[in-house]
Structure 1
Amino acid sequence: MARRPSACAVLACVAILAVAPACAMDLQEAYEAALLQDATTRAARAGLQASDERINQAKAQRYPSVSMSAGYQRNNLDRMQPNLLGQEVTVNDRYPSRNTTLTVRQPLYRKTIAVTIEQAQAQRNDVEAGLQKETQNLAVRVTEAYTQILFARDQLAFIDAQKAATSTQLDAALKQFAGGSGTRTDIDEAQARLDMALAQELEARQQQGFAQRQLALLINAPVSLAALRSLAVDLLTTWSPPSSSIEDWLTQAESRSPELGQLRARLETARLEVDKASAGHMPTLDAVAQWSRSDSENVTSPATRYLNRTIGVQLSVPLYSGGYVSAAMREAVARRIQAEELLEAARRDLALRITIEYRNVTEGRVRVAALEQAERSAERLAQSSRKSMHGGVRTLVDVFNADQKKAQAQRDLARARYEMLVAYVRLQALAGSDEGAGIAVVNRLLR
């Protein structure tokens, strides 16, 4: 398992980011801060604590229960009885009465208690797997937000270079037109390309702002764009994902995937619900001890005090409940079948998603290499077009088209690099790897 950062260290990191957002923040630091600050993850941790208490509640049913009751009454008793002459007379008695009872009950045999304890443990396993799933998803969300910011920053750099080149060409076209050697078409073409670059710049800044806000919400602290570390292209060039086969990833996911772990725990809960429903036909046996004291509770002798002590066993045998137990069993069996089918459906869907992300990583590396070659070719085309334009062979439109191809190749290459890294983190999350394993690998590729 990956080492979880201490709470003090992460809180200190978040505090530093809040008061000094210009400090550098790599992907690992962002993820560690999000582990403590993300509301969804904290809610999952609270759910795990609640499930622990549910286990304690289930276990408490095995222990003795002690109850005490006390009562006080004011009695107004009218008695009709014959006197010495045989005449009926009414005698009114006013007196208080009191009673106190202490009962201790110890379950000796209740099948539902044992099943309830097992169910509570299975439900805790469900919640624990849910927490692991949230932390894995958090790694993907942090990586996506972080890389989207880096991609927008790269895209803005490409657009700035494109704007500078277009502005230079626009100035040259204006001068040539003023000197009588240029055309109005060249000016309009350069202006249209510059306006398009400005529109693309606005879109890229909007995307960057959204990703910046998303990351800030995850770590609950301001995010400085200048503080984020950039992707080290030279390190990425020599990096290659682990050589595990798709079968290895699927095997790992089968045993460690938090999604499948959740559904297995729910299937176990459903299976135990069948046992609990069948226990409705089973007898229960309790040991009961009782101590009671009563004063003036007998109308024939109001001034009498009783002190009673009893100890014994109590057997309860269910005979008939209108078919409730049978119906509950049929419902529990149907729920168990439902849980089995949901598990199988999730297993198939997970295999498909792992296959997709595996290919995004392995084939993404090949795609990045191809786009790197395409970028070099586009760069040479742009340079050749400018030289040819100066020699009178190419036009300004040809230069703009070559520059546009170069910018597109640069954007496609940058996007492919970040998508490959995000796919790698997502693959680690789907397969149930150690917490933050994908984050650590990607973080080493940042400068």
Structure 2
Amino acid sequence: MNPRTLLAGAVLALCATATPATDLLQVWQAARQHDPQGAVSEAGRAAGATRREQAAALWRPNLGLSASAGWANGQSQTNGAQFSALNSGLSDQANFSTSINGGTATRWALNARQPLYSPERRAQAAQLQVAAQASEHEWQLNQQDWMLQTTQRYMDVVQAERRLALVLQQQQAVDQALTEAKDRFALGDAPITDTHEAQARAQALAAEAIAARNALDMARQVLADVTGWPAENLQLQAPVRVVTGQAIEPLATWLQRAEQHSPVLKLQQAQVQSAQQDIDKYRASASPTLDLVAQASRERLGGSGDFGAAS
């Protein structure tokens, strides 16, 4: 299994036991319905799946129909023809002449071709099948990256909330220290420098609190854009640690799973196969092919000429 999938799955498993609030699993479900990145990924997957139909279409019969019309002149002449007619005996010196000037010429043709044997076409079909499988691996990889991006955005908000809470706690403690310094100075128990130092620390923490609040607003807005939820209503639950009591599997086991199921490796293998099929395609371009061909056509020229109407 891909390490990215394991990481995202582990975070989702942690969120499944969180206290009632907006957890990572709910955020991921909302992102799948609202984030445009999902629609883009699905569109790419659907486009890749059409390559299987293209591969099958290479072996389907091709049907073509053509038609034309225009004006033409025609002339035909037959000399020394032999024919016999009733009560006129046999004649072997008959001449026939036909001419058409500016007649109407029409033509139509219907062609059908069924490929039977073609190494080049077979290589093209195999390459399209590999491309379709590669698009599926790419979709899986995009899904994992999308899940990790959503997880990162979720954790950015949680970390920004905790950062702001920590700064506010520090600010509260420094404000208390500033009040005590002022009181001690008023009583003559502390120098004015202690008050100035406490005042400087309080102002620095106030600026840090503003920066932390701005960072939280930005992180919430980014998460709101992908979930469709209002940023001001995002109340997230941080993941909690789940103790399973199970021993961690050896690293070799994880590496073996990654080699067997990693979309990255499968995508690279598909690219190698596609390159190999491309080589086979050009190697087979000069090979003989066998097609079953059928054709029906008709040509006609009609009009009038030197000897009257003719067609």
Which bin holds the TM-score, normalised by the shorter protein?
A: 0.7 to 0.9
Is 2:27 the counterpart of 1:61? no
**What amino acid sits opposite 1:104 in the alignment?**
A
Alpha-carbon shift at residue 246 of structure 1 (Å): 2.1
Q: CA deviation at 1:54?
A: 2.1
What's the TM-score, normalizing by structure 1?
A: 0.56
| Equivalent residue, structure 1, for 2:191 | 183
For structure 2, the residue ranges without an aligned partner over 5 or more in a row are 2-19, 77-98
Q: Is the 8 A contact 1:109 1:284 kept in 2?
A: yes
Report the Cα distance in structure 2 between the residues aligned to 1:41 and 1:242, rounded to whole angstroms. Answer: 36
User: Counterpart of 1:72?
Assistant: 69
Shift of 1:76: 5.0
Structure 1 partner of 2:151: 143
The question of whether the paired residues in 2 share the 8 Å contact of 1:40 and 1:134 is answered with no
- Whether 2:35 is the aligned partner of 1:41: answer no
Deviation at 1:56, TM superposition (A): 0.8
Q: Deviations over 1:84-142 (max 9, x none)?
A: xxxxxxx9812101111111111111112222221111111111111111111112111
Aligned to 1:114: 122
Aligned to 1:274: 279
Structure 1 counterpart of 2:283, which letter? S
Find the counterpart in structure 2 of residue 440 from structure 1: none
Shift of 1:145: 1.1
Query: Which amino acid in the other structure matches residue 182 of structure 2?
Result: L
- Structure 1 or 2: larger helix share? 1
Kept in 1, the 8 Å contact 2:160–2:216? The answer is yes
Superposition pairs for residues 23-34 of structure 1, below 5 Å?
A: 24-34=21-31
Q: Secondary structure at the match of 1:117?
A: helix
Higher relative contact order (CA 8 A, sep 6+): 2
Aligned AA (1:153): E
Q: What is the CA-CA distance between 1:237 and the residue it aligns to? A: 7.4
Instruction: Classify 1:231/1:59 alpha carbon distance in 2 versus 1 (closer, same or farther; 3 Å).
Output: closer
Deviation digits for residues 206-237 of structure 1, max 9, x if unmatched?
221222122122223333455212344xxx27
Match of 2:163 among 133, 155, 166: 155
Would the aligned equivalents of 1:35 and 1:135 in 2 still touch at CA under 8 Å?
Answer: no
Say whether the 8 Å CA contact 2:116–2:290 is kept in structure 1: yes
Q: Percent identity?
A: 29
How far residue 154 of structure 1 moved from its aligned partner, in angstroms, is 1.2
Matches of 1:114 and 1:297, distance apart in 2:
47
d(CA) in 1 for partners of 2:285, 2:73? 46
Cα RMSD of the aligned pairs, angstroms, is 2.8
Within the candidate set 220, 228, 241, 2:236 is matched to: 228
Distance in 2 (CA, whole Å) between partners of 1:137 and 1:217 is: 17
With normalisation by structure 2, the TM-score equals: 0.78
CA distance 1:53–1:297, change in 2 (3 Å): farther
For the 8 Å contact 2:50–2:132, the answer to whether it is kept is no
Q: Is the 8 Å Cα contact of residues 170 and 191 (structure 1) preserved in structure 2?
A: yes
**Judging changes above 3 Å, is the alpha-carbon distance between structure 1 residues 200 and 237 closer, same or farther for their aligned structure 2 residues?**
farther
SS at match of 1:228: coil
CA distance 1:131–1:237, change in 2 (3 Å) = closer
Superposition pairs for residues 211-360 of structure 1, below 5 Å? 211-224=219-232, 226-232=234-240, 236=241, 238=243, 243-296=248-301, 303-304=310-311
> How far apart in 2 are the matches of 1:78 and 1:103?
29
Q: How many residues align?
A: 269
Equivalent position amino acid for 1:264 in 2: Q
Q: Relative to structure 2, which stretch is displaced further, 60-69 or 217-226?
A: 217-226
Does the CA-based 8 Å contact 1:44-1:127 persist in structure 2?
A: no
TM superposition outliers: structure 1 runs of 4+ over 3 Å: 76-79, 223-226, 237-242, 297-304
